Amino acid sequence: MESIEEMKARAEQAISGARLEIVPNPGPAGQPSLLLDHEHAFAVANFLRADPALRLDYCSNVTGVDWLDRTVKKKVKVKKLVDGVEKEIEETQEEFFPGYLEAVYHVYSIEHKHGPVVVRLRTRDRAEGAPLPSLTPVWRSAEFQEREIYDLYGIHFEGHPDLRRILMWDEFTDFPMRKDYREPDDYEYEPTPHDEVLEKAKQHYAPRPAEDGAEHLAAD
């Protein structure tokens, strides 16, 4: 398989205006990925699929990632005039990276038996329903997994044929895989007949505080 740099160059040549970016991987795996821009994501994905040398016809996995806002502190040596003398002083600079949500696609070629190529899409911010173009029309197997990302991260995939919650129930309002998600104290409290029966039963027996503290409390 050709290198990701060649892939990027050819895709940019084939699709005018496409802005691709290579996301390096500094870890031992060293697997770089291809970041697509929203406007041309569909066209680029189609190119990756249809190009005779690549033929990435199988999307094996789609997953979501939540990147929170972060500030990175860096120590930088700066030359400054101190009392008229130029000195090198170490300064701490803070760099702010706004958070975003990400969808990561792992695509393979069944025909050429190569892969994976990692394709990424990033939202502008972490707002609820932040949009991304759906790649389900290109890779059909992404349908349920994009639904799962919508369900758990709240990314809205535009052009998805059937974007509904898939694991959580339809009435659920939050996005459980976001890093700042807090579980509710009680998911779905409903009074049941059991409670009424219990209340009635309490009227029939005298409280026994010596044996059972809880009953005593309930009878008050």
Select the residue interacting with another protein from 32, 131, 159, 176 (CB under 8 A).
176
Question: In 3-state terms, what secondary structure has residue 166?
Answer: coil
Closer by beta carbon to another protein, 68 or else 167 = 167
Nearest to 121 by CA among 153, 167, 97: 153
**Residue 1 binds another protein, judged by CB under 8 A:** no
Question: In 3-state terms, what secondary structure has residue 19?
Answer: coil
Closer by beta carbon to another protein, 130 or else 168 = 168
CB of 23 to another protein, least distance (A): 16
Select the residue interacting with another protein from 53, 78, 110, 167 (CB under 8 A).
167
DSSP result, 166-188 = SSS-TT--S-TTSTT----S-S-
Among the listed ranges 4-12, 48-56, 97-105, 167-175, the one in contact with another protein (CB under 8 A) is 167-175
Closer by beta carbon to another protein, 66 or else 122 = 66
Nearest to 123 by CA among 182, 66, 62, 46: 66
Question: In 3-state terms, what secondary structure has residue 6?
Answer: helix
Question: In 3-state terms, what secondary structure has residue 159?
Answer: coil
CA dist 177 and 147 (Å) reads 13
What mask, x for binding another protein by CB under 8 A, covers residues 10 to 49?
-----------------xxx--------------------
**Contact residues for another protein, defined by CB under 8 A:** 27-29, 152, 166-169, 176-177
